[in-house]
Structure formats: structure tokens, C-alpha cells
Structure 1
Amino acid sequence: MLEAFVELGRGFFAALFAVAAGGKLRARGFADLSAAFAAFGLPGARLRRFSARILIAAEATVPAVLLFGPVSIGLSLAALLLTVLAGGVLVSTRRGRDVRCACFGTARETLSERHLWRNASLASIALVLALTPAGPTPLDLAGHVLLTAIGVGLGVAVVLHEAVSAALIPRKR
């Protein structure tokens, strides 16, 4: 039974990070991410671009490991990266910086405690799933594929929810 949740998590976090990395690879997404690093206080355009590339590479690594490597390692990487991102949001909000969320590509809204709670909650879920022992009855290949696909659908639903929420919430001026 627990293995089913791990498979859902595999698909969910793979989709979440694939969309996040893909959105930032577009020219506008990369520019928005670099601008977010500038608003965060990171000095120098070269350092901001380098940091953006590192973040994109880290986000692209998570789905690759989740889908082609050990699931527990992929989920651990997801938890670690989400914790780092939550830390960035915490620092940004505590300093009162107007950093735009470039979470899934283009920046639409200012980072807020909502982003902190989202990232911290997702990091907790990923960590719990990473530490979940395999169940006594392993899933067959069809079960793995089906549950991973359902997880992907859930991950895409979260991204779409974020996009709709960002579009409906008025920007702070």
C-alpha cells in the first residue's frame, strides 16, 4: 500500500520539477528568474545567470533521477531542493524584498508566505515518501506506470492551480 504512495510521489514530483525547469528554460522564464535573483540581492549579472543555470539544472535532475534512478534518491533530492527554495522564500519575505515568483517560469506574483508553506509542505511530503520502506507486495509494471501517470497528472494540476491563482490574485504595487 505504501509503495503506491511512493509511485504517486514519483510522478507528482517528476512533473512538478520538469515543468519548473522547462518554464525557466524559455527566454522569458530565464529572464524572470535572473530578475528574481537580482531582487533577492544577488550581485552581478554573471552570478545571477550562473545561479539561474544551476537552479534549472538542479530542477531538471530531480525528474531524471525519479524516473530513471532510485526513487528514494529522487525524492530526497526533491525534498532538499524544496527546502532550499523554501529557505530563499523565507529570507526574501523576512527582508521585505519584492521578489517575483519564477517558480514555474514567468514571474507573476511576489513571493509570500504562501510559497513558503507550499514548498515546506511539499518538501515534507517528499522526505516522508523518500523514507518510506517498500511494502510487502511489490507492484507489477502496470501498477508502477499507472500510479506514476496519476502522480504526473496531480503534479500538472498543482502547476495549473498556481498559474490560475497567480492570474487571479492582484499584484502588489
Structure 2
Amino acid sequence: MTAYLLLGGRCVLAAVFAVSALAKFRAPREFASALRAMAVVPERLAGVTAAAVPVVEVAAGLLVWAPMPIATWGFVLSGVMFAVFAAVLVSVLRRGLDISCSCFGASGVPVSRAHVGRNLILLGIAGAGLTASVGSGPGGLGAAGVVVVLLVAIFASILIIATDTLVELFSTAR
């Protein structure tokens, strides 16, 4: 069972980090602007932070696929990143800022509790992957189980990446 959990965690984290990093690499100025608007790093560090975050996201997404025990550190890094992302978004909400996070590219959807929830879900996935990576022993993966895990991971990744779209779709403030 832990082998399937490990596979699912790896797939979701790698997909989410890949899409997130790609969006930030494609629009670094927009992400830097979002960081400035959030006022979570000093103004002079916004550009450097905007450049560093997607690099670390790529690293985390690759590390979870590395052999053990390196993959374990990839899950730790992922968890730390999602905890920091959630804390930043909570800070934005508590200060009443009406801005989007640009987590997956330019967006007009303001930061909401759904965005915090997304990061907490990803933190949980990183934690489950960490637990599975530490407890994983030799065990085979059946073909049917792998297919199910991959389908669930694809579906979960799409829902996570589409948070802005889903928030906008189900928003009651119209």
C-alpha cells in the first residue's frame, strides 16, 4: 500500500510543481509583482525571490523521484514549501489584501481560503509521501493498481491546478 501512496504523491507533487514553475518561468514579472503586492518579502528581494521559487519548485518536483533516501528530502522540501505558501496566503487574507497569488500564472481571482486549502492539501500529500518514503520497503506494484493511482493523481493534479477556475466558477459574489 505504501508503494502506491508513494507513487501517487510523487505524481501529484511533480505535476503541480511543474505547472507552477512553468507559469512562473513564463511570466516572472507578474509573479514578482504579486510578491510585491503581498508584501511578504522586502521590496528589493521580490525579483530574486520570484526567480528562486520556480527553481526550488523544479528541484522539489525532481527530488521526490530520486532514489531513497534522497526522495525523502524531496518530500520534506515540498512540505516546507507548501507550509510557507499557506502561511503567506493566510497573511494576505488577514491583512485584507485583494490580490491574486499568480501561483499558476496570471489570474484575476483574489486569494481566498480555497487557496490556503489547496496548499494544506498539498502539504498533506507531501506528508503522506514522506511517511510512505520512510516506510517503503520492497514491494511490487500491480499494473491495475498503478493505473488507478495514475488516474487519481491526474484528476487530483487537475483539480489542484484549477483552483482559481473552480473558485471563480463557484463564487457566490457575482
TM-score bin (small chain)? 0.7 to 0.9
Give the counterpart of 1:65 among 57, 63, 66.
Answer: 63
Letter in 1 for 2:36: A
Contact 1:11 1:151 in 2 (8 A): no
Contact 2:15 2:157 in 1 (8 A): yes
Determine the structure 2 residue equivalent to 1:93. 93
Aligned Cα RMSD in Å?
2.9
Letter in 2 for 1:56: P
Give the counterpart of 2:53 among 47, 55, 75.
Answer: 55
Q: Which segment is superposed worse, 78-87 or 116-125?
A: 116-125
2:162 is equivalent to residue 164 of structure 1: no
Deviations 1:95-116 (A, max 9, x none): 1112312111122311112211
Partners of 1:163 and 1:107 in 2: CA distance: 7
Are residues 114 and 16 of structure 1, via their aligned partners in 2, closer, same or farther at CA, if it must alter by over 3 Å?
same
DSSP-derived class of the 1:67 partner: coil
Determine the structure 2 residue equivalent to 1:104. 104
Greater RCO (Cα-Cα under 8 Å, separation 6 or more): 1
Are residues 84 and 6 of structure 1, via their aligned partners in 2, closer, same or farther at CA, if it must alter by over 3 Å?
same
Q: What percentage of residue pairs aligned between the two structures are identical?
A: 25
Are residues 100 and 161 of structure 1, via their aligned partners in 2, closer, same or farther at CA, if it must alter by over 3 Å?
closer
Letter in 2 for 1:161: A
Partners of 1:74 and 1:38 in 2: CA distance: 28
- TM-score w.r.t. the length of structure 2 is 0.81
DSSP-derived class of the 2:158 partner: helix
Letter in 2 for 1:7: L
Partners of 1:138 and 1:147 in 2: CA distance: 17
Q: Which segment is superposed worse, 71-80 or 2-11?
A: 71-80
Runs of 5+ unmatched residues, structure 2:
none
Partners of 2:96 and 2:25 in 1: CA distance: 28
Letter in 2 for 1:134: S
1:121 Cα deviation (Å)?
2.5
DSSP-derived class of the 1:68 partner: coil
Determine the structure 1 residue equivalent to 2:136. 134
- TM-score w.r.t. the length of structure 1 is 0.81
Letter in 2 for 1:157: I
DSSP-derived class of the 2:65 partner: helix
Contact 1:12 1:154 in 2 (8 A): no
